Chains A and B, each alone.
Chain A
């Protein structure tokens, strides 16, 4: 099993739609979780951290399910500008290291 696994997509959704991505991780001892966004030919940028209780930032909601070892990202009211690749990031317990998923590609269509 990969350390961090994501559906590569692409997810093609119309503007205004709600879309959700999941990401599974293999190490149950991982404590830190993030979603990064990467635009085509650009660097990854932090979108949001994922907290145990779940957290929301505008149209974006992140959830953590420790029992099933997955995190999710929900995007409401999708905008054209949301088109990007979303990277799931999980820490390696006891280290400073992150493991990046290979990303889920989202295309929001007009």
Chain B
């Protein structure tokens, strides 16, 4: 079975450019999470969707970040304009349920470098 799919796997862009990261959750999963991982801060939750509805976006760093989930099989995380401090690995994860006991399955991540 296909796991969580993310694209692109690597993105190098210049400061000020718009960046769009994409995620396809595991079929049948109804919760989707976007995380950011850096050496300094570890893995941080940015936003969580349940049944395509954003439930909690308190982890989104600032207005430059936005996320959408137009349907159950697709989500995007957009950064506009991008800054060098946004450089990180961005993971998408999905789970079947919406409780904290449900296993979260992570995609391979998008490694973003903003020059």
Contacts and interface: CB of A to CB of B under 8 A. Distances in A.
B54 interface: no
Nearest to B55: A96
A24 interface: no
B100 A32 contact: yes
B31 A96 contact: yes
B104 A102 contact: no
Given A91-B100, A102-B42, A96 B48 contact: yes
B101 interface: yes
Given A87-B43, A97-B56, A43 B100 contact: no
Q: Place the interface of chain B in its size category.
A: 20 to 34
Q: Place the interface of chain A in its size category.
A: 10 to 19
A81 interface: no
Interface string A60-71: 000000000000
Given A97-B48, A101-B42, A45 B99 contact: no
B38 to A, nearest CB: 10
Interface in A4-54: 31-32, 42-46, 49
Contacts of A32: 100-101
B103 A46 contact: yes
Contact of A96 (B41, B43, B99, B108): B99
B98 interface: yes
B23 to A, nearest CB: 12
A100 B43 contact: yes
Nearest to A99: B45
A82 B56 CA distance: 35
B42 A42 contact: no
Contact of B45 (A42, A44, A98, A102): A98
B106 A98 contact: no
Interface of A: 31-32, 42-46, 49, 87, 91-92, 95-98, 100-103
Interface of B: 31, 41-43, 45, 48, 50, 55-56, 91, 98-109
